[in-house]
Amino acid sequence: MRTADFIELLVHDTSATAPGVALRRLLTALLAGGLVTLAIVALGLRCQPLLTAAQQPWFWMKAGYTGLLAIAGAVMVKRLSTPGARLGPAPFAAALIVLAMLALGAGQIVATAPGARLTLWLGHTWKVCSPLILLLAVPIYACLVVAIRRLAPTRLGLTGAAAGFAAGALAATLYGLHCPEQAAAFAATWYSLGIAAATALGAITGGRLLRW
């Protein structure tokens, strides 16, 4: 087939596309994956009632931390799925948010009596926290992968990492509905570790899963 003929064939398939379709697909993926994860948190883990959680300031402390990270992650995914777009300041913003949370957690530990520090840091659930967040990130990551493949990522490993990061941060936010831990030091460590594990999962699988 001559290239000129092939172009004619492609021209027959011209159709109008609405602006912002890329962003809409990614947000839909976050919503769909988030709903699956929310269902697992609500039915599988039996989270505390939403109204109870929403009255706790420490719930919002954790949700604020991971929610901001999820937004930064979503921005990175969008930019990495757009060929030629710059990554922009989102990674720095994410790093600053993590550093601020680590500082808050460290400050909390310093301010606690030495004998109570370990209990504050480990809480009652430190062993299950990070693995559960990683597990809960999987449905969100899977939905993101489907959406990203329809766009055009050119740096696959990095895009996978950003998708894993966004999925992990959103999963951690929803996990907060179940998690009874109250300390900033706890969230700064075990939530962050869970998100880091989801990021690693994305970095490892991205090259294979996101090829188009």
Partner 1 sequence: MQQEETEERLRPLMIRSLEGDAGSHRQLLGLLGRYLRGYFARRLRAQAAEVEDLVQETLLAVHLKRDSYDRSLPFTPWAYALARYKLIDHLRRRHRSIQVPLEDAGALFAAEDAEEGAIRTDLDRLLQRLPDRQRTLIEDVKIKGFSVEEAARKRGITAVSARVMLHRSLKWLNQALRDENG
Binding site for partner 1 (CB under 8 A): 1-17, 19, 21-22, 81-85, 150-152, 154, 211-212
Closer CB to partner 1, 200 or 204, in the complex: 204
Closer CB to partner 1, 16 or 113, in the complex: 16
Q: Rounded to an integer, what distance in angstroms lies between the CA atom of residue 143 and that of residue 85?
A: 22
Phi, psi for 156 (deg, rounded to 5): -70, -45
212 secondary structure, DSSP code: -
Closer CB to partner 1, 2 or 46, in the complex: 2
CB neighbour class for 102 (10 Å; exposed up to 12, middle 13-18, buried from 19): middle
Closer CB to partner 1, 40 or 76, in the complex: 76
Q: Which helix (H) or strand (E) holds 16?
A: none
Residue found by looking up tokens 């959103």 in the block: 170
Measured from the CB of residue 79, what is the shortest distance to partner 1 in angstroms?
Answer: 9
CB atoms within 10 A of CB 104: 17
Closer CB to partner 1, 81 or 173, in the complex: 81
Measured from the CB of residue 87, what is the shortest distance to partner 1 in angstroms?
Answer: 12
Measured from the CB of residue 3, what is the shortest distance to partner 1 in angstroms?
Answer: 5
Measured from the CB of residue 74, what is the shortest distance to partner 1 in angstroms?
Answer: 15
Residue found by looking up tokens 């030495």 in the block: 114
Q: Rounded to an integer, what distance in angstroms lies between the CA atom of residue 168 and that of residue 157?
A: 16
Phi, psi for 45 (deg, rounded to 5): -95, -10
